[in-house]
Amino acid sequence: MYKGVVHRYRDHLPVDAAARVITLLEGDTPLIPLDNLRRRLGIPARWYAKFEGLNPTGSSKDGGMTMAITAAGAAGAKVVMCASTGNTSASAAAYAAQAGMICCVLIPEGKIALGKLAQAMMHSAMVLQIEGNFDEALTVTRQITDSYPVTLVNSINPFRIEGQKTAAFEIVDTLGEAPDYHFIPVGNAGNITAYWKGYKEYEKAGKSTVLPKMIGWQAEGAAPIVRGGRVLHPETVATAIRIGNPASWERAVAARDESGGHIGMVSDDQMTEAQKLLASANGIFCEPASAASVAGVIRYHAEHPFRKDEVIVSTLTGHGLKDPNRAIEISPAPAKV
Ligand code: F0G
């Protein structure tokens, strides 16, 4: 029986042998061929979606959260806390519930998608809203967790990165080799950091012979890495990546440069278009931020056409049901009969 990513990849993870593993059986997410989309767009390469929206709380955060909460528990933590644009709070709340811990989440008021807020509330987290953005919420969270016996479970917690790197292991285990290109949305930059770490470790362990080019995408209104400076008032419909000062900025740049990759930006319209195309052409419903890694492929292909023998993976970080309001907004209204 499948027992979750900590159990599956224990040899590659810093888990204490005596630790009680907190899991909701996250991971083992599918790598779905995007053949319809590929044909429609005239992209000759093999193209797959790593659909992380199929995790227990509907986002890629679960792979990291099983590690963060397991490590927190092993260290005797009773209370955990995070700042979040939504998905981290949903994941932290669920895993804390499973562990019997108290979870406190700090979110930007009015700027998190409905499904994510519902999750944090249902899992009985203490939900606090600030009149400010994610970056400000993270600053406050760092101050609180530095001063009180509360464990921070944002991706600056190294166990989060350790857990999320297993998604790269899964891709290599499924394909039998690393892809040529890995496309991924970039917000606080933990996930691109984690994937790159995972790919490098697996290559070193002899599980793959190549390393992918890491191609990250920010939203135009929240693209500090692309613009080379902090964005004080980030704005995008992709609220998950509405971030102006990513905590793992340097590590994202290192992943880009070491892999010979690229970090670019896509507009809200391009993400929306890609989200609709993926849903209508391939039957996969992802959230707006996740569509950045599909919009990114379309943009990249226009400038550097992919070849037939190349393999592309796009991580779809969150499920479309996280943000139903946005989906209804961008779709034609049901006909009255
Ligand atoms: N996609 C989704 C759906 C996300 O929720 C996030 C981040 C990202 C992409 C970007 O990942 O931050 O590792 O670069 N969400 C965080 C949160 C910030 O609070 O849920 P990243």
- pLDDT, tens digit, for every residue of 287-299? 999 999 999 999 9
Residue carrying structure tokens 């391009």: 270
Distance from C-alpha of 327 to C-alpha of 286, rounded to nearest angstrom: 10
Tokens of 111: 């700027």
Residue of 317, 319, 321 with the most ligand 1 atoms within 8 Å of its CB, for mutation: 317
> Is the CB of 186 within 6 Å of ligand 1?
yes
pLDDT band per the 50, 70, 90 thresholds, residue 233: very high
- pLDDT, tens digit, for every residue of 14-51? 999 999 999 999 999 999 999 999 999 999 999 999 99
Distance from C-alpha of 289 to C-alpha of 230, rounded to nearest angstrom: 19
- pLDDT, tens digit, for every residue of 86-105? 999 999 999 999 999 999 99
Q: By percentage, how much of the chain surpasses pLDDT 70?
A: 100
- pLDDT for 266 equals 98
> Is the CB of 290 within 6 Å of ligand 1?
yes
Residue of 134, 161, 162, 191 with the most ligand 1 atoms within 8 Å of its CB, for mutation: 191
Position in ligand 1 atom list of the atom nearest CA 53: 3
- Note the helical H segments in 100-221: 114-122, 134-147, 158-164, 166-175, 190-204
When the pLDDT of each residue in the chain is averaged and rounded to a whole number, the result is 98
Burial of 36 (0-12, 13-18, 19+ CB in 10 A): middle
pLDDT band per the 50, 70, 90 thresholds, residue 154: very high
